[in-house]
Each structure stands twice: as structure tokens, then as C-alpha cells.
Amino acid sequence: MIAQAENILDVTTLIPREKHPTIFKRFEELKPGESLTIHNDHDPKPLYYQMLGELGNVFSWEYTEQGPEWWKVVLTKRGAEENDETLGEIAAKDIRKAQIFRKYGLDFCCGGKKTVKEACAEKGLDVTKIEQELKQTDRNVVAARPLPYNEWDPAFLADYIVNTHHTYVRQMLPDISAYALKVARVHGGHHPELIQINGLVESIKQELEGHLPKEENILFPYIKKLVQAKNSNQPLEKPHFGTVENPVKMMEMEHENAGHALEKIRELSNNYSLPEDACGSYRLLFKMLEEFESDLHIHIHLENNILFPKALEIEKQLRS
């Protein structure tokens, strides 16, 4: 069997305005599974973001050389058979697609290990329709690019989660709890589901009040130590919990508890539908709950599908 010649494009031979159009043209000519190797005299990372924005997740990007004189990247066109990614993997690569998962009630955070087909089958949804919407997201060019969470250093991502999502939880939960109790007392007689919702809000509050400090004081500091040990090529002292897998499993279980409670609230509220007699507090409660659910989905997704897998992989590398 004759080996296929490597498909190489040396963009240093092209004038600047021709570089990206030529790469796009050569990529479009590829068949699924075929690759194009780009040679450049600087990091072509801006090209990655342009391709992701204009073409979507239809390619893989692999550096084979990263400076200081040459950068070489292998671009491979994905085939249809590679569409068995999990919900979590899809959202990790393009967070815009999480909006589609939320639209159809597909759990990409706690339930992020299921494929689109599996998740749709469980809920009796039309997988073809949802896959078409996901592909449409790939084709849509948006002015604001999604944040590249999956490319961030795990230590930086941990700080981002604390500063953004943990702060949000601490700011919002007391108000949500107070309004849930108030609305249940006033409207619970005519809408008994509000009493259940109030109980679920309290369970979420208690769960997260204990959960956040565990991450901030135990798990995240250890993840930072893992990153530091990897970067400095130094050994790492074994933690009292044995392996990072142990606190990760506990955090994922607690994530699942909070996720199930919010799912039940959505069910009881009929997707946050307001009755005719809903007062201002009633409306505000449902608005806050829906926003809180949306934020928590992203929050859990960043941990379950990006931060934790990276921590597990780093620890595995350090111990090998």
C-alpha cells in the first residue's frame, strides 16, 4: 500500500491578504478524515478562532511544532462518524450550544456524559432536529466569540469559577430563598407547588453553602498544586484524600443533587410559567430561579466537563 503524501501548505510563501482565504479553500477541498498541515513563522492561533467562528466544530487542530522559528499545525476535517461526542464535550468546545441543550431540557452539566442521541432518546426528542440546530450554530458567525474555557490553564479556570460563579451563588441564593418563602406563604394556598419549590430552594441553599467551601479550601487549591507541579516538573506530596478523584466524585454527586432539585423546580413550575394571579414577587422569584438555573448549568459544566477531567489527567501524568 502506498502511503498518502502529506498535504502541506507553507503560508510564509503567501502575501498576507491571501493566507486565510487560501487555507479556507484548501480546507474546504478536504474530504472527511483528510488533513492539511500548515507551516507558519508565527503562532496561527487567530486562524483557529476564525475557523471555529465561521465553520464551527468541523475540524481538529493539532500542533506538531510550536516555535520558536516554525509553527506547524495539522488541520483534520471531521467525519460524520465523529458526531458521538457527549453533551459535555460539545458544550466544552462551544458553549453557545448549551443554549440549545437548555431549550430542550438536555442536561449538559450533571448529565454531560451522555451523547446527543442517548439524551434525546431518554426524553423522546427528535435527535435529527436538534443535530440540525447544533449544526446551524456551527454556521452562525457571531460577533462575540464564546470564551475559550477549554483552553484555559486549570488554575486560572478555578479562579474564574470562584470569582464569577461562586460569587453569583452567594449573592443570589439569600434573595431567592427569601422570595421563595414569601411567595409560598402568600400564594401556596392556591398554588401548592410553591410550597414544594420553597423546600427545594432551601435544599439547594444548604447543599451549596456546604459545597462551595469544599471546592475553595480543598479541591481547587490541590488542583493549583497539580498545575504547579506539572509546570515545574517537581514531585507532589500525596494529599490526605489520596487522589483528586475522591473529592471530584463527591463534588459531582453534590452537583447532581443540586441539578436534580432545579430540574424538579422547573417541572413543578411548568417551565417557570406564571399564573394570572402572579404578583410582582411571584414574577421576580421565577425570573431569579430561571437565571440561577442557567448560571448553575454553566458553573457545573465548567467543573464537571473541563476542570475536573484536566485535573485527573494532570495527576495521572504526574504519577506515571
What digits encode the pLDDT tens for the residues 256-300?
A: 999 999 999 999 999 999 999 988 889 889 988 988 998 999 999
Q: Distance (Å, rounded) from C-alpha 293 to C-alpha 152?
A: 24
Last residue of a domain, one of 139, 160, 179: 139
Residue 3 lies in a domain: no
Structural domain containing residue 45:
8-77
Burial of residue 62, with CB atoms counted within 10 A of its CB: 0-12 exposed, 13-18 middle, 19 or more buried: exposed
Whose cell is 394570572? That residue is 276
Residue 319 scores a pLDDT above 90 = no
Q: Distance (Å, rounded) from C-alpha 301 to C-alpha 137?
A: 19
Residues 215 and 294 in one domain: yes
Residues 32 and 89 in one domain: no
Last residue of a domain, one of 77, 99, 126: 77
Q: Give the pLDDT score at 304.
A: 93
Strand partners, 74: 37, 62
Between 233 and 6, the more confident residue is: 233
Residues 174 and 284 in one domain: yes
Instruction: Look at the chain and report how many structural domains it folds into.
Output: 3
Residues 185 and 276 in one domain: yes
Amino acid letter, 78: R
Residue 167 scores a pLDDT above 50 = yes
Q: In what order do the strands lie in the sheet with 8-10?
A: 8-10, 35-40, 71-77, 59-66
Burial of residue 300, with CB atoms counted within 10 A of its CB: 0-12 exposed, 13-18 middle, 19 or more buried: buried
Largest CA distance in the chain: 78
Between 235 and 250, the more confident residue is: 250
Residues 219 and 243 in one domain: yes
Average pLDDT, the chain: 86
Residues 95 and 201 in one domain: no
Residue 188 lies in a domain: yes
Number of Cβ atoms within 10 Å of the Cβ of 282: 19
Burial of residue 197, with CB atoms counted within 10 A of its CB: 0-12 exposed, 13-18 middle, 19 or more buried: buried
SS3 10: strand
Tens of pLDDT, residue by residue over 15-31, are 888 888 899 999 989 88
Residue 2 lies in a domain: no
Q: Give the pLDDT score at 80.
A: 56
Residues 176 and 288 in one domain: yes
Q: Give the pLDDT score at 91.
A: 76
SS3 268: helix
Residue 236 lies in a domain: yes
Residues 156 and 247 in one domain: yes
Residue 257 lies in a domain: yes
SS3 314: helix
Q: Distance (Å, rounded) from C-alpha 122 to C-alpha 119?
A: 5
Q: Give the pLDDT score at 293.
A: 92
Q: Distance (Å, rounded) from C-alpha 186 to C-alpha 167?
A: 30
Residues 186 and 252 in one domain: yes
pTM, 2 dp: 0.61
Q: Summarize the confidence of residues 111-123 as an average pLDDT.
A: 80
Q: Distance (Å, rounded) from C-alpha 104 to C-alpha 124?
A: 11
Residue 144 lies in a domain: no
